[in-house]
Amino acid sequence: DAGVTQSPTHLIKTRGQHVTLRCSPISGHKSVSWYQQVLGQGPQFIFQYYEKEERGRGNFPDRFSARQFPNYSSELNVNALLLGDSALYLCASSPDMGVVEKLFFGSGTQLSVL
C-alpha cells in the first residue's frame, strides 16, 4: 500500500504569491493533519481536517487555510507568502480524528520563498 504522498516535492515562490500544496492520505485514513517545519526546528502543528472540516488549529495566521475532499485528500493553501513561510510542509494521515498512535507522515514539500 502507498504511504502518505505529497506534491510537489519542492517549490519556489516569491513574496506575496499564493501556494497550494497537496496530500493524499493512506488508503482508509480519514483524517489529515498539516505541520510546518522551519529549518533547524521541530515540526509545528498547523491544523487537522476530518470529514472535510477543520477540527483543530495551531497558532497560525488566517493566511494558512486548507480543505479536504470527499476522497479524504487535502490541499494546504498559503496566501500572501512571506520569507518566513519557507519551510518543509509535512502532511500526516490517521484512520480517524485524533488517532495519534496511528499517525503516518509524508516526505513533505520543501517551500522556498524568495
* Residue position matching grid coordinates 483524517: 31
- Is residue 61 near another protein by the rule CB under 8 A? no
Give the SS3 label for residue 81: coil
- Is residue 60 near another protein by the rule CB under 8 A? no
- Is residue 101 near another protein by the rule CB under 8 A? yes
Return the DSSP state at 25. Answer: P
Check: CB of residue 82 under 8 Å from CB of residue 96. Answer: no
Residue closer to another protein (CB basis): 47 or 72: 47
Stretch that binds another protein, among 18-26, 41-49, 63-71, 74-82 (CB under 8 A): 41-49
Cα–Cα distance measured from residue 107 to residue 101, given in angstroms and rounded to the nearest whole number: 19
Among 73, 79, 86, 103, binds another protein (CB under 8 A): 103
Q: 20-57: string of b/e by CB count within 10 Å (b at 16+)?
A: ebebbbbeebbbbbbbbeeeeeebeebbbbbeeeeeee
Residue closer to another protein (CB basis): 35 or 78: 35
Binding site for another protein (CB under 8 A): 4, 33, 35, 40-45, 47-48, 50, 55-56, 58, 90, 97-101, 103-108, 110
